[in-house]
Each structure stands twice: as structure tokens, then as C-alpha cells.
């Protein structure tokens, strides 16, 4: 068993919590004095922790004499998204069959807890899913076909959900190579096709086409810089869903978005996190 660890300022604790939310092997401790945190992620293979180190720095070491059998996935209840979708962390076919029986007519999305965040129960992800259900309903009512661009895809849950809700195709991108691997695995687990998964830095990426729906679940500092690219990738009559924004960072984020011609129709706050829907004005 291996562990990646990194010391970080207390001001970054929210960002670390979101990044590794849903990963049962992640531990964040506040150190004595309350000014610093130690972030640790445990993994079975060296490559997993090296991938994290490549992205975030920190240190890697091998551990011995631990009862790793006690480290199991938490048994969290399924997440209900409107009356359309159920998101579960259980990966087996039996669990899917049970949920299909319990919730007839709803889409079942299986997203096991893994190295990438986005299992569906964090406020940033669940807010995106709720907005996505609403947008899909509007598009269906208007008889419009659509596709999705998912920036900062993490586990791939949003692109997978979009396909189930009627998107013709999807492109899901993430800066983290571990997230790309997990997203590809989850696309296969959920039996979805026509979703392309790729590694890209949104701040250096250039869209080759426009999309009817764009979802960006990114840290606010990244969002603020990425809005010109996001707008370039959005169809004139398209829908944008953004998330990953702390409440205190929302006014600045909103201002940056509006400078690029975006108009917000819905803003949703859950706890300390803000998500929003926008269209081009």
C-alpha cells in the first residue's frame, strides 16, 4: 500500500475537500496551530499516488503493516436527482437491478468512489445534475437535439448522465490523467457510447466546434480565466452550467462571466458552494 501526502495552507482546505470528495481513501487533517493541513491519499499501487504527485507535488511513500482490509467503500445511499435519475456508488449488476426495480422509469448512473471526484453526492456535482435534468427537459420539450461538453469531467458522471437524458454525444475533458482513466472506466460500466474522454488543460485548450450544452465544474479561479474559451465553445442558443464556486468567490466569478456576455437565469447555493445556469445574452 502507498500514500501520497502534501502540506497545504488552511485556506485551501475547501478545495482539497472538493477534489477528493467521495474517495474513501483520502484523509485531510488540520495540524496543530490551525494554519496548515496535511492531505493524504492511500492507494494500492504506486502508479496511483505518482499520478497525484505529478499533478499536485507532495511526497510518496510505501506503507507496511496496515490492516488495509478495513478500508472499504462507504455504503452511502443513492442520490435522487429530480424524478429522473438515481446515482449510486455501487458498481455491480445486482445493485443496478435492485435500483431499477425500486425506482422504475428512472435512469440509474453507477459511479463508484475512486481517485476522481464527482460521485454525485457533493453539492457541486449534484447541483450540476439537477440543472442538467432541467435543461434536458427544456430541450426535449422544444424538440431540439443536443450534445454536451463537460469541462473538468472528474468521474465522467455529468457526460454519462447527459447521454442517458438524451444527448446525442459528448466530449468530456479533465486535466488530471487519473480522472480521464476513471471516466473512461465509468463510461464502460454504464454501457454508454458516443462519449469521447480526453486530457486537456482548459486554460490552454481550443474548442474545434460549438456545443448546445456546456458544463464546467471547475475551481472558480480556473473558471474566471476560462470564460472566454467556454463562451467560444457554446452555441448561440446554448446552455451553460457552472459549479465548483465558493460563496465568497461568486460575485467575482459572476462579474467575469457577464463580461463575456453571459446572463444568469438560475443561481443555486448549497452550503458553501454555488452553482449556476447561464445563456448568452
pLDDT for the residue numbered 213: 99
**Distance (Å, rounded) from C-alpha 195 to C-alpha 184?**
9
| Residue 100 CA: distances (Å) to CA of 160, 189, 218, 276 | 17, 16, 31, 30
Q: Are residues 157 and 273 in the same domain?
A: yes
- Is residue 49 classed exposed, middle or buried when 0-12, 13-18 and 19+ CB atoms within 10 A define those classes? buried
Identify whether 265 is part of a domain: yes
CA 251 to centroid of chain Cα atoms: 22
Record the pTM: 0.78
CATH of the domain at 228: 3.40.50.150
Q: Are residues 65 and 168 in the same domain?
A: no
Phi-psi region at 166: left, alpha or beta (left = phi > 0; alpha = psi -120 to 50): left
Which of 128, 121, 138 has the alpha carbon at shortest distance from 240?
128
CATH of the domain at 25: 3.30.70
Identify whether 228 is part of a domain: yes
Q: Are residues 57 and 130 in the same domain?
A: no
Structural domains of the chain, count: 2
Identify whether 231 is part of a domain: yes
Mean pLDDT per 10-residue segment, the chain (281 residues)? 89 83 76 85 86 90 58 70 94 94 97 66 88 98 98 94 98 90 94 96 95 95 96 98 93 98 96 94 85
pLDDT for the residue numbered 240: 99
**Distance (Å, rounded) from C-alpha 128 to C-alpha 120?**
9
Q: Which domain holds residue 28?
A: 2-69
pLDDT for the residue numbered 70: 43
End position of a domain, from candidates 54, 69, 84: 69
Identify whether 83 is part of a domain: no
Q: Are residues 49 and 128 in the same domain?
A: no
Q: Are residues 158 and 224 in the same domain?
A: yes
Q: Which DSSP category does 28 fall into?
A: E
Q: Are residues 138 and 54 in the same domain?
A: no
Amino acid at each position: 500500500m502507498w500514500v501520497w501526502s502534501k502540506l497545504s495552507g488552511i485556506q485551501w482546505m475547501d478545495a482539497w475537500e472538493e477534489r477528493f470528495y467521495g474517495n474513501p481513501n483520502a484523509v485531510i487533517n488540520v495540524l496543530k496551530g490551525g494554519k496548515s493541513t496535511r492531505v493524504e491519499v492511500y492507494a494500492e499501487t504506486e502508479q496511483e499516488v505518482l499520478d497525484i504527485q505529478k499533478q499536485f507535488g507532495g511526497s510518496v511513500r510505501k506503507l507496511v503493516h496496515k490492516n488495509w482490509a478495513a478500508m472499504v467503500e462507504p455504503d452511502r445511499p443513492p442520490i435522487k436527482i429530480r424524478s429522473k435519475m438515481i446515482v449510486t456508488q455501487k458498481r455491480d449488476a445486482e445493485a443496478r437491478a435492485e435500483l431499477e426495480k425500486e425506482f422504475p422509469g428512472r435512469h440509474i448512473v453507477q459511479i463508484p468512489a475512486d481517485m476522481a471526484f464527482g460521485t454525485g453526492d457533493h453539492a457541486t456535482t449534484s447541483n450540476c445534475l439537477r440543472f442538467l435534468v432541467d435543461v434536458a427537459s427544456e430541450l426535449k420539450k422544444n424538440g431540439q437535439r443536443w450534445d454536451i461538453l463537460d469541462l473538468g469531467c472528474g468521474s465522467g458522471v455529468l457526460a454519462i448522465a447527459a447521454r442517458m437524458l438524451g444527448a446525442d454525444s459528448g466530449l468530456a475533458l479533465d486535466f488530471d490523467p487519473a480522472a480521464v482513466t476513471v471516466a473512461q472506466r465509468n463510461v464502460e460500466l454504464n454501457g454508454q457510447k458516443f462519449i469521447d474522454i480526453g486530457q486537456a488543460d482548459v486554460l490552454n485548450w481550443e474548442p474545434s466546434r460549438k456545443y448546445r450544452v456546456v458544463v464546467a465544474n471547475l475551481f472558480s479561479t480556473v473558471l474566471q480565466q476560462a470564460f472566454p474559451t467556454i463562451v467560444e465553445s457554446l452555441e448561440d442558443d446554448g446552455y451553460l452550467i457552472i459549479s465548483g464556486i465558493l460563496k465568497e468567490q461568486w460575485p467575482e466569478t459572476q462579474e467575469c462571466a457577464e463580461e463575456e456576455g453571459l446572463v444568469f437565469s438560475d443561481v443555486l447555493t448549497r452550503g458553501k458552494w454555488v452553482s449556476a445556469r447561464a445563456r448568452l445574452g
